[in-house]
Structure 1
């Protein structure tokens, strides 16, 4: 095999050449081509920040709708007549169920002092033929 010597072989010249004094004046020419004022840079993160704020606001509003709906409803208290009529006409509710559900505080609020004379009690017992049923209850 023949030895290869790099210096002896003819070299292929590149087709690209730089003009004379190109790199000496390059920085001056480049500065002349740049615009005088720099353009305003808009960050990508700024757009994301507004997007996150909009999503957070929508989420807060969505969570507040049920709270506002419950708060704005007019809550009507049950009047005692309606409650009494309901309990009276329900056949599956008896006095023992009501007693079991009442607490001692509720019972103390219900107590009403009614002055009944002995004569009135005797009259009711004398007129009532179901005395045995009353005694058993």
Structure 2
């Protein structure tokens, strides 16, 4: 009986060791990409001293590229958003920076101010994620 008891104890210990060391139990921390919620295409309008529309596509690193349209003029728009939703962008005519857009994005909406430093125009903008 002692022989069987010892054998049962050894097998139990081996079985417990195998179960408790299962790699699926490891606590791997997968960092959350806090910029992922901004990823996608955003569209909006701006108004004030001038008015028009804008479109920007954000990647999962928070970088944006798009356009800003004012009447018959189309400007290239580039910028970035931080993890807390602060956005900073510039719009260009060719390689010349014409103005800036700053503000805040949530996971679905955004708003802020814009400034055209060439014409000394400014105003506000709003937008939504498509």
TM-score in terms of structure 2 length: 0.29
Larger radius of gyration: 1
TM-score in terms of structure 1 length: 0.28
More relative contact order in 1 or in 2 (CA 8 Å, sep 6+)? Answer: 2
